[in-house]
Amino acid sequence: MSLRHDHPRFWRDPALPFLEARRVTDGRRVCYARHSHESFSIGAVTGGNSTYWNQGHAETVAPGTVVVMNPEAVHACNPIDERPWSYDMLYLDTAWLGALQRELGAPGHLDVQLYTARSSRHPALYRRLTTLCDTLFDPDAGRLARETEATALVVEMQRCLTPRMPPSGNDPLGLRRAADYIDTHCTEAIGLDDICRVAGLSRSHLVRCFKAHFGLTPHAFLTDRRVRFARRQVRRGRPIAEVAADCGFADQAHFQRTFKRLQAATPGQYAAGHSSR
> Which residues form the domain of 19?
9-160
The last residue of a domain, from among 110, 130, 160: 160
Are both 145 and 200 inside the same structural domain?
A: no
Region of 72 on the Ramachandran plot (φ > 0 left; ψ -120 to 50 alpha; else beta): left
Do 156 and 178 share a domain, yes or no? no
pLDDT tens digits for 55-96? 999 999 999 999 999 999 999 999 999 899 999 999 999 999
Instruction: Return d(Cα 148, Cα 158) in angstroms, integer.
Output: 16
Residues 32 and 156 in one domain: yes
What was the pLDDT predicted at 72? 94
Classify residue 167: in a domain, yes or no.
Answer: no
Is there a single domain that holds both residue 14 and residue 103? yes
Are 155 and 50 found together in one domain?
Answer: yes
Q: Decide if pLDDT at 2 tops 70.
A: no
Give me the pLDDT at residue 183, please: 96
222 and 100 co-located in one domain: no
Would you place residue 167 in the very low, low, confident or very high pLDDT band (cuts 50, 70, 90)?
A: low
Give the model's confidence band at 158: pLDDT under 50 very low, under 70 low, under 90 confident, else very high: very high
CA distance 158 to 146: 19
pLDDT given for residue 274 in this prediction: 56
Question: Is 207 found in the same domain as 105?
Answer: no
Q: What is the CATH number of the domain that holds 74?
A: 2.60.120.280
**In a shared domain, residues 86 and 137:** yes
178 and 151 both lie in a single domain? no
- Tell me what pLDDT residue 250 has: 83
Both 61 and 149 in one domain: the answer is yes
Tell me how many domains the chain contains: 2
Residue where one domain finishes, among candidates 160, 190, 223: 160
Q: Is residue 166 part of a domain?
A: no
Separation CA 66–CA 45 (nearest Å): 7
Domain-embedded: residue 2: no
pLDDT tens for 105-139 read 999 999 999 999 999 999 999 999 999 999 999 99
Tens digit of each residue's pLDDT (9 = 90 or more) over 15-70: 999 999 999 999 888 899 999 999 999 999 999 999 999 999 999 999 999 999 99
Q: Residue 32 and residue 259: Cα distance in Å, rounded? A: 10
Is residue 189 assigned to a domain? yes
- Would you say residue 58 lies in a domain? yes
- Whether 277 has a pLDDT exceeding 60, the answer reads no
Percentage with pLDDT > 90 across the chain: 87
- Give the model's confidence band at 1: pLDDT under 50 very low, under 70 low, under 90 confident, else very high: very low
| In-domain check, residue 105 | yes
